Amino acid sequence: MSNVYYVGSGELSFEIIERIINENLKLELSAEAKLRIQKCRDYLDCKIASSVEPLYGITTGFGSLCNKTISPDELGMLQENLIKSHACSVGDEIRPVIIKLMMLLKAHALSLGHSGVQVITVQRILDFFNNDVLPIVYDRGSLGASGDLAPLANLFLPLIGVGDVNYKGQKREAISVLDEFGWEPVKLMSKEGLALLNGTQFMSANGVFALLKAFRLSKKADLIAALSLEAFDGRIDPFMDCIQQIRPHRGQIETGHNIRTLLEGSELIARPKAHVQDPYSFRCIPQVHGATKDAIRYVASVLLTEINSVTDNPTIFPDDDQIISGGNFHGQPLAISYDFLAIALAELGNISERRVAQLIMGLRGLPEFLVANPGLNSGFMIPQYAAASMVSQNKMYCYAASSDSIVSSNGQEDHVSMGANAATKLYKVMDNLELILSIELMNAAQGIDFRRPAKTSPLLERFLCQYRKEVPFVKDDIVMYKEIHKTVAFLNRSKIDY
C-alpha cells in the first residue's frame, strides 16, 4: 500500500482518515485538486479586477464591518489582519491528533475548488502536516457559527510566520521553524484569510476523533457486557434473534447477534438457571446498546457529509460566474448531532455502571464486593463509586450545547450553533465512558473467576487469558487505580473480532 494520500483525489471516509492518522501517511495535493484550486483563484482575480460591486470579505470588511470598502492595495493586509485579530482561542492546548485532523480536513475542503485560495497556501498546510509542525491551538473560543474562527485563526497564524508551534517536542515561534525549513511565510491574497478561518474543521476534527473511538468502544461494550452477563449467571433468552426481529431496530438486531456470537460454546450461559429473568441492565442490553449503535451510525452519516463539504464563505462558483455569501459555515448540523451522540454514549456508561452495581451486591452466589474475605477487604466497593461519579459527570456533559445561542459581531451574527462546545464536551463523555467500561471489565473478570471451574465461551476465555496476563485476580485489597489504568491500556490495545 502507498504511504501517500492524495488530497482532493476523492471523498474522505473514516477508513481513509484512520489510515492517514494511524499509519502516518504523507499528504500530497492531487493533480486534479491543483487544477481546481488554480482555476478558482484565477477566476477570483479576474472578478475583483472587473467588478464594480463590493464583494463581501474580499473587498470589504468582515461581519458587521461588511459596509467598509477596502482598497485594492490593502486586500492582502486585510486577510493577514483577519487571522491575527481572530486568533483568540484560549484554554487547554488541543491534542496533536486533533491538530493534524484539522489540517487534513481544511486542506481537503480547500481542494474542492470553491474557496479562492492559492495552491501554495494549501501546499503549506500539507507541509506542516507532513513534517509534524503543529500549530498551538486552544480548545475554547469558537461559537461554531462563522465557522470555528478563533481556533482556525490560531491554527493558521504560522502560515504567515506568526504564532507558536510544537515541533520535535518543543514549543517554538513559528517563524524560527519556517526559517529552519527554508519556507517563506505565505503572502495571503484576497479572500484567503476568510477561506482559512471560515469553516467547521475544529468541530469536525473533534467529531471525527470521537467517532472513530465510538466505533471501537461500542463494540467493546458488547464484549464487556457479555462477560458481565456470564459473571452474573444471566440468561441468553433476551438476546435470541426472534425477539429482536419483532422490534427490528438495526442496532438492536446487531447487539443481539453480537452477544450470541460472543457466548457461543459457553458452559456458563448453557447451564440451568434458578431465576426466570434478569435486571434491565442485563436484559435490555440489545435495546440500550442497540440504540447507541443507531445513534453512532446517524452521526457518522452527518459528519461524513460535513467533512466532504465546502464550509467557508463567500463561496465561489467559477463555472457559473457567481460569488455567493451564504451560511455553510454554520455548525448546526454538527452541534445537534454531537449533543445526540453524547447522550447515546453516556447511556452506554450509565447501563455499564448498573451492571457493576449488580455484580458487587453479593447476589447469585457471588461474594459481596467480589472479594473472598469482605470486611477485612473492601474489594470492588470503590471502583463502583468512581464509575458512578463519571456517570453523573457525563449527565452534566449531556446538556445540549446546541440549544444555546449568543448574539455576536454587533448583531450581524445573531444566531450561533455552539457546535464547538458540543464537540469538546463530546470527547469528555468518551474519556469517561472508556474508564467506566474498564471498571466493568475488572468486575466482570473477577466475577467469572468466582464461577470457576465453569468456563465461558472459547472466544471470551481467550480474551480473559490475555487480560489476566496484565491485570490479576484480586485476592486481597490492592491499589485499585493502577489496575483501572492498566485495564484502559489493555482495552486500547486488544483486538478481538466477532
Nearest to 207 by CA among 274, 282, 301, 138: 301
Last residue of a domain, one of 141, 173, 199: 199
Last residue of a domain, one of 145, 178, 199: 199
Last residue of a domain, one of 184, 199, 214: 199
| Predicted local confidence at residue 233, as pLDDT | 97
* C-alpha cell at position 389: 461519579
Specify whether the CB–CB gap between 111 and 201 falls below 8 A.
Answer: no
| Predicted local confidence at residue 57, as pLDDT | 65
Which domain covers residue 168, as residue numbers?
4-199
| Predicted local confidence at residue 64, as pLDDT | 58
| Predicted local confidence at residue 79, as pLDDT | 87
Shared-domain flag, residues 459 and 313: yes
| Predicted local confidence at residue 441, as pLDDT | 98
Shared-domain flag, residues 238 and 380: yes
DSSP string across 295-346: HHHHHHHHHHHHHTS---SSEEEGGGTEEE---TT--HHHHHHHHHHHHHHH
Shared-domain flag, residues 115 and 179: yes
Shared-domain flag, residues 160 and 224: no
Nearest to 95 by CA among 42, 166, 149: 166
Phi-psi category of 346—alpha, beta or left, where left has phi over 0 and alpha has psi -120 to 50?
A: alpha
The CATH number linked to 402 is 1.20.200.10
Residues ≥6 apart with Cβ < 8 Å to 481: none
* C-alpha cell at position 147: 465557522
Helix (H) / strand (E) containing 165: strand 164-167
Greatest alpha-carbon pair distance for the chain in Å reads 86
Shared-domain flag, residues 184 and 243: no
Shared-domain flag, residues 192 and 53: yes
DSSP string across 114-147: -S---HHHHHHHHHHHHTT-EE--EEE---SSSS
Residue 454 lies in a domain: yes
- Helix-strand-coil percent breakdown of the chain, rounded to 5? 60, 5, 35
Shared-domain flag, residues 118 and 146: yes
pLDDT along the chain (498 residues), means of 10: 90 97 96 98 90 73 64 79 92 96 98 96 98 96 89 96 96 96 94 93 96 96 98 97 98 98 97 95 98 98 97 94 91 96 98 98 94 86 96 96 86 84 94 98 97 97 96 92 96 86
| Predicted local confidence at residue 426, as pLDDT | 95
Residues ≥6 apart with Cβ < 8 Å to 55: 47, 48, 314, 323
| Predicted local confidence at residue 146, as pLDDT | 83
Nearest to 283 by CA among 223, 348, 239, 231: 239
Shared-domain flag, residues 187 and 220: no
CA separation for the pair 224, 441 (Å, rounded)? 6
Shared-domain flag, residues 483 and 335: yes
In one-letter notation, the amino acid at residue 359 is L
| Predicted local confidence at residue 62, as pLDDT | 60
Residue 336 lies in a domain: yes
Shared-domain flag, residues 163 and 211: no
Residues that are catalytic: 56
Shared-domain flag, residues 255 and 359: yes
The CATH number linked to 99 is 1.10.275.10
| Predicted local confidence at residue 91, as pLDDT | 94
HSE (side-chain half, CA atoms, 13 Å) at 322: 8
| Predicted local confidence at residue 67, as pLDDT | 65
How many structural domains is the chain composed of? 2
Shared-domain flag, residues 68 and 213: no
Residue 498 lies in a domain: no
Specify whether the CB–CB gap between 231 and 443 falls below 8 A.
Answer: yes
